Amino acid sequence: MPAVSCPPPLALLRPPYASLDVVERGRAQLLRDGTRPGSALVWNMTAGIRPQDVPVAARRPGGLCLIVVLPPSERLPTEPEVTRIMATVRPHSILPYHEEPSVDELSWCLRRPPEDLGVEITEYLAWRGLSVDRDTARLIRRTIDASAELRSIAGLARSVYMSRRALGRRFLTRGLPVPSHWLHFARVLRAAIRLQNSDESALSIAYELGYPDAFSLSNQMLRLVGHRPTVARECLGWEWLLEAWLRREADRGGLAPDYTHRLLDDVGPPLRAEPGRPNPGKVARRVGRGRIPG
């Protein structure tokens, strides 16, 4: 009986999402081919977890999403080991064992809206080495959450029970972009996620998010992340947009020097996403989050 072939352990999924490109040269190949907007690294563990793949996934370039396909139960390591690995690599989606997901199924996972955008963003910052204290992380999350309704920094300050000056000082002393920049970015990020998950026009989405017209949304998105809504719709996922915004903030002096160095030199995230022991609850929330619809 012929041996059953397994899909490649590591592959790149890139626009226009027609096929997977096998990754054979590790991080060097990801730096060369995986930095295009809307790209994802697919880690298929069907044949088991190879130790050499862990650092490649953990130190992938910023903005490159990770989709993990777990192995069958008989090849799955112990739960603590899986939790440790997932906390280290910070995947966008974790799929239960699936013989060989199609490109369309993986693309669906990539465009899937986050369950909690604020939490996802602060976890991404920690993975990229931009760790902040708990209170500041909470303020970032509140800002992201408030962006669905609020349009001004004055309204944001009232919602967190702080003066505008105190709120701005908190972000500046932590080496982060000012609150108004977070608010404006979160609004265009919400627009991009809507564009990817609906057939609505840019004009309709712009109105719903408080922009006077599609032209205003397009100009704001171009200013903040360097891309128009047409690109945001075609290039799936949200992490590449966050990375693009952070890099533009770094270019303009909006980030502390050590944060700027990590982003612009792409020295790679640390092998542990966060100091201390991994939180099983965070990992558990991701398992099945990208489950393929039947």
The pLDDT tens digits of the residues spanning 32-81 come to 999 999 999 999 998 888 889 999 999 999 999 999 999 888 877 777 88
pLDDT at position 4 over 70: no
- Non-local (6+) Cβ contacts of 110 within 8 A are 13, 38, 40, 65, 67, 92, 93, 236, 237
Please report, to the nearest 10 degrees, the dihedral formed by the alpha carbons of residues 185, 88, 280, 99 taken in order: 100
Tell how strand 20-22 and strand 10-13 pair up: antiparallel
Mean pLDDT of 88-100: 90
Q: How far is CA 17 from CA 13, 64, 92, 99, 233, in A?
A: 6, 14, 17, 19, 13
pTM (2 decimals)? 0.88
Confidence of residue 1 (pLDDT cuts 50, 70, 90): very low
The region of weakest confidence among 34-43, 77-86, 173-182, 199-208 is 77-86
117-264, which class in CATH?
mainly alpha
